[in-house]
Amino acid sequence: MSTRQKGRGFTLVELLVVIAIIGILLTILSPSVRRMHVLSKRVICCNNLHQYAIALLAYTADHQNIFPTCHGGGQIDQNVENTWLSAVYAYGSRERLGRCPAIEGKQIDYGAQWDWAWTGHHNGYGYNMWFLGGSHQLNRQGELDGTNIPMYRDTRMSEVMEPGLCLMVADSNVKTSGGADYGCTISLFWPYAGPDRYREGVAGVRHENAGSTGYVDGHTELIEDPDNNINPPYCGARKYLEIWDHRQRIELGK
């Protein structure tokens, strides 16, 4: 074989065929790669919430089986020292408890734009405030707009009828109303639903129309389309109360 034949490179046609094959492979594989990227973020987020759930359970074990208060009022925009997040510091560092990996850059939740920060307003993980960790501010007690179910504080583990069904922590969005950012991602606030109210529930758009949720028994679940399953419906209907309510009342007033 001649030296010229040994050193022969690709012809233009051969090069174009190779490029075409690579393009086809990328077209085929791109959705799978993207899907794996989404799934990996979901797994990491559920693991983060599992760590939060375990830390909260450890806290209750050390505090007479009473759940921590969601927040004690005052400023939560500069730090989280007076929120439930500070209650779990002793059971896991900030770094280990982490943040939702799907929060990258500016978030847009139901028209409101916000950036992640280690504060009570923009942390992105919320706690079932109405039923497990009600505020100790006196003006935050009592019923809200005739819900027949008051905010609970100092809820005990023994009062939770179905730990595997009672929501404790979850992906959370900022309080939104008319596209405005009212912050306070630390709370999951069951009664706030309706076109003229803040939206303050499980974030349903962060993981490809799914949300990560953690329950009182420590397990986590990824809920597909949580706006119809676990987040208080924006229409104001009070469905799925049993998931939020530690006493598992399906309808109001029971």
As a whole number of angstroms, the distance between CA 112 and CA 108 comes to: 5
As a whole number of angstroms, the distance between CA 221 and CA 42 comes to: 10
- Cα distances from 75 to residues 80, 120, 192, 213, in angstroms, run 9, 9, 21, 26
Q: How confident is the model at residue 1 (pLDDT cuts 50, 70, 90)?
A: very low
Are 71 and 82 contacting, i.e. CB atoms less than 8 angstroms apart?
yes
The pLDDT, as a whole number, for residue 252 is 61
- DSSP for residue 38: H
As a whole number of angstroms, the distance between CA 62 and CA 78 comes to: 28
CA–chain centroid gap for 77, Å, is 19
As a whole number of angstroms, the distance between CA 24 and CA 37 comes to: 20
**Beta bridge partners of residue 177, listed in sequence order:** 180
Read off the pLDDT of residues 22-68 as tens digits, 9 standing for 90 and up. Answer: 777 667 656 665 667 788 899 999 999 999 999 999 999 999 999 99
> Of 149, 229, 233, whose CA–CA distance to 197 is shortest?
233
- Cβ neighbours for 56, distance < 8 A, ≥ 6 positions apart: 67, 68, 84, 87, 88, 127, 168, 169
Are 189 and 133 contacting, i.e. CB atoms less than 8 angstroms apart?
no
- pLDDT exceeds 80 at position 85: yes
Read off the pLDDT of residues 212-242 as tens digits, 9 standing for 90 and up. Answer: 999 999 999 998 877 667 777 665 556 678 8
Read off the pLDDT of residues 132-181 as tens digits, 9 standing for 90 and up. Answer: 988 766 555 556 656 667 788 889 999 999 999 999 999 998 888 777 88
The pLDDT, as a whole number, for residue 235 is 59
**Domain extent listing, the chain:** 12-244
Structure tokens at 28: 């085929």
As a whole number of angstroms, the distance between CA 26 and CA 30 comes to: 6
